[in-house]
Amino acid sequence: MKNIVIGQYIPGEGFFYRLDPRTKIISVIVLMVAVFLLDSIYHLLVASGVAMILLLVGKISIGRVFRGLRPLLVLLVFTFVFQILFNRQGAILVNETLTLSATSIVGVLFLTVLWRMLARRGKFRFLLLLMYLGGLYLAMRYLTFWWQITTFPFVIYEDGVTMSIFVIVRLVVIITLSTVLTLTTKPTDLTQGLEKLMRPLKVIGIRSEDFALIISISLRFIPTILDEANKIMSAQASRGADFAEGKLKDKIKQVISLLVPMFIIAFKRSEELADAMESRNFVPGKPRSRINELVFNRLDVLTSVFVVMCLTGSILIRVL
Amino acid sequence: MSYIEIEDLSFSYTGKRKILENINLLIEQGEWVAVLGHNGSGKSTLAKLMIGLLDPMSGSIKIDSTLLEEETTYEIRKKIGIVFQNPDNQFVGVTVKDDIAFGMENLLVPRAEMLEKIDFFARKVGMSDFLDKEPASLSGGQKQRVAIAGILAMQTKIIIFDEATSMLDPYARAELMDYIRELHDEGITIIMITHDIEEAMLADRLVILKEGKIHADGAKKQLLGQPEVFETSSLELPMAIRIAGMLENNDDKLKAVKEYLWEFSFDR
């Protein structure tokens, strides 16, 4: 349980590591806006080229970024399928009739079972999902004999294809940008950057210092509490609890046997932590000096200029 | 005028059962006092009262002739620090460096001075190679040492150890006791709250609490001459004293063993 990595941060050196977190946060937001302003696929491809160059400059491996995309694959596939099925504009590319018959239903069921079984093994899940979707199409297209129940049209329009590609590329670019931020910025620096940026919110009564302290303490206690969860799970397992298997009802029971002690211990911890903080003269809301300082240097100026140029560029493209 | 003056101090959580009753205690600068007591004797409550985490029901605490009350807690806490039992629950910072800095940040120490002090005090407790490490990768003993560095960096003159070694392994415990001895040698007043009699033997003075009252208070050697004091407060006597007791009233050779044991344990 030692050396748990919180967040996606990977220690390293390079251009992005030397930037002030404030610059990085604002740049990512501004670049996202710039990307959203683009409305043609060609401009977007240029933008993704720029994103690639950024990765190269920062010596960030593209594989890393794509691993960050993995949890969003399902969302991407869903967007793709949705656009293809429901966008009704432009020239017709494919016009087929699909059939729901006794054989095709059996085919669909068979494919579903096969897909779930293979997916359980946990390898090539994404590929399997694509093959499953393709299989569904083939089954309903060609298994037309016996007891035709109903038929329905399957039409793909040109805009459906371009739009789906457009949306996906846009998402990928945006996620790449935010991944660069999280890969190269320590969670603590990130909170400190956010704290400084949220300073103006003091006007409406939000104290960003408190907010930042809460986040940094939470980050600090994540490994401690994970460690504890493991201990409690072992303790409960030695008393016959089984967290891995059993019916849903049993599983819920087991989770409760984990959560109740976790909460009790967490409350006790927080009380002791509050005592420790207070005895070291912490007074909420009182000004404090800082050991970690953010420095805005020449690289930050350079980055800001670049980001402003990107934004102006996409505004000009939009307007002209 | 003593350095720490506790006068007629009583405390109760509910108003009915008193956890502490009429405690009178004077501690001089540079003393090493062990506050001994069985579970529930009120010894940890005394520590929390001294640092202003709890408000007394009656009585007063004066530290360096400042009366401890709500307006003065901030000033008092510059003079007195506390190391708690659980190493994890008092580690505030994300890294060792941040944690040592935490108290100084609260005192508005300028950054350059903080960096200097962090370096100095981390070296002092042998943690200078771990400044950027996270608490999850430290042992319990290391975390307690970081806690000590954090307090020392605040320039405190008194440190309370509230069962600070009870969650450590024997090796880390001995090591921490060595650091405490060093602090004592430098003139820092040490108040050690413990139920471990062998640990208390390192102190110069013992204060034994029993059911919220001071049962005995005196120099270590003087109290060790009265074994009944320990027995009546359900504390086990140090091993050497127990053996010496067994040898009592026997022939001269055994008396020699007794003297040897005494010397071995307490006069080193």
Q: What value of ipTM does the predicted structure carry?
A: 0.88
Chain A residues within an 8 Å CB radius of B82: 276, 279
- Residue A36 domain flag: yes
* Residue B185: per-residue pLDDT: 93
* Residue B249: per-residue pLDDT: 63
pLDDT per residue as tens digits for the range B36-82 = 988 888 899 999 999 999 999 999 999 998 999 888 999 999 999 99
Please give, one letter per residue, the 3-state secondary structure of chain A. Answer: CCCCCCCCCCCCCCHHHHCCHHHHHHHHHHHHHHHHHCCCHHHHHHHHHHHHHHHHHCCCCHHHHHHHHHHHHHHHHHHHHHHHHHCCCCCEEEEEEEEEEHHHHHHHHHHHHHHHHHHHCCCCHHHHHHHHHHHHHHHHHHCCCCCEEEEEEEEEEHHHHHHHHHHHHHHHHHHHHHHHHHHHCCHHHHHHHHHHHCHHHHHHCCCHHHHHHHHHHHHHHHHHHHHHHHHHHHHHHHCCCCCCCCCHHHHHHHHHHHHHHHHHHHHHHHHHHHHHHHHCCCCCCCCCCCCCCCCCCHHHHHHHHHHHHHHHHHHHHHHC
Are residues A132 and A21 located together in one domain of the fold? yes
Residue A47 in this model has a pLDDT that exceeds 60: yes
Chain A residues within an 8 Å CB radius of B146: none
pLDDT per residue as tens digits for the range B76-119 = 999 999 999 999 999 998 889 999 999 999 999 999 999 999 99
- Residue A289 domain flag: no
B193 HSE (CA, 13 A, CB side): 24
Chain A residues within an 8 Å CB radius of B118: 291
- Mean pLDDT over all residues of chain A? 83
- Residue A109 domain flag: yes
B245 Cα to chain A: minimum distance (Å): 41
Q: What are phi and psi of B264, to 5 degrees?
A: -60, -40
Are residues A115 and A248 located together in one domain of the fold? no
Are residues A94 and A15 located together in one domain of the fold? yes
Tell which of B48, B73, B105 to mutate to test the A interface (max A CBs under 10 Å).
Answer: B105
Nearest chain B Cα to A223, which residue?
B136
Nearest to B90 among A3, A272, A283 (CB): A272
Are residues A163 and A257 located together in one domain of the fold? no
- Residue A291 domain flag: no
* Residue B48: per-residue pLDDT: 93
Are residues A105 and A231 located together in one domain of the fold? no
pLDDT per residue as tens digits for the range A186-221 = 888 888 888 888 888 888 888 888 888 888 888 888
Are residues A279 and A300 located together in one domain of the fold? no
Residue B31 in this model has a pLDDT that exceeds 50: yes
- Residue A200 domain flag: no
Report the pLDDT averaged over residues A261-280.
93
- Mean pLDDT over all residues of chain B? 88
Q: Which residue from A31, A290, A258 is spatially nearest to B115, judged by alpha carbons?
A: A290
Are residues A112 and A239 located together in one domain of the fold? no
For residues A101 and A150, what is the distance between their CA atoms, to the nearest angstrom? Answer: 7
* Strand ordering across the sheet containing B80-83: B80-83, B158-162, B189-194, B32-37, B205-210, B213-219
* Residue A87: per-residue pLDDT: 77
What is the set of active-site residues of B? 163
- Residue A199 domain flag: no
Please give, one letter per residue, the 3-state secondary structure of A13-41. Answer: CCHHHHCCHHHHHHHHHHHHHHHHHCCCH
Tell which of B86, B94, B119, B131 to mutate to test the A interface (max A CBs under 10 Å).
Answer: B94
Sign, CA torsion A157/A162/A164/A167: negative
Determine, for residues A220 and B82 on separate chains, whether the beta-carbon distance falls below 8 Å.
Answer: no
Residue A2 in this model has a pLDDT that exceeds 50: no
Q: How many CB atoms lie within 10 A of CB B239?
A: 13
Chain B residues within an 8 Å CB radius of A279: 51-53, 77, 81-82
pLDDT per residue as tens digits for the range B188-219 = 999 999 988 888 888 999 999 998 899 999 99
- The structural domain count of chain A equals 2
* Residue A1: per-residue pLDDT: 37
Are residues A270 and A142 located together in one domain of the fold? no
pLDDT per residue as tens digits for the range A35-46 = 988 888 888 888
pLDDT per residue as tens digits for the range B129-138 = 999 888 888 9
Nearest chain B Cα to A217, which residue?
B92
Are residues A175 and A221 located together in one domain of the fold? no
Range of the domain at A28: 1-185+296-320
- Residue A274 domain flag: yes
Determine, for residues B111 and A290 on separate chains, whether the beta-carbon distance falls below 8 Å.
Answer: yes
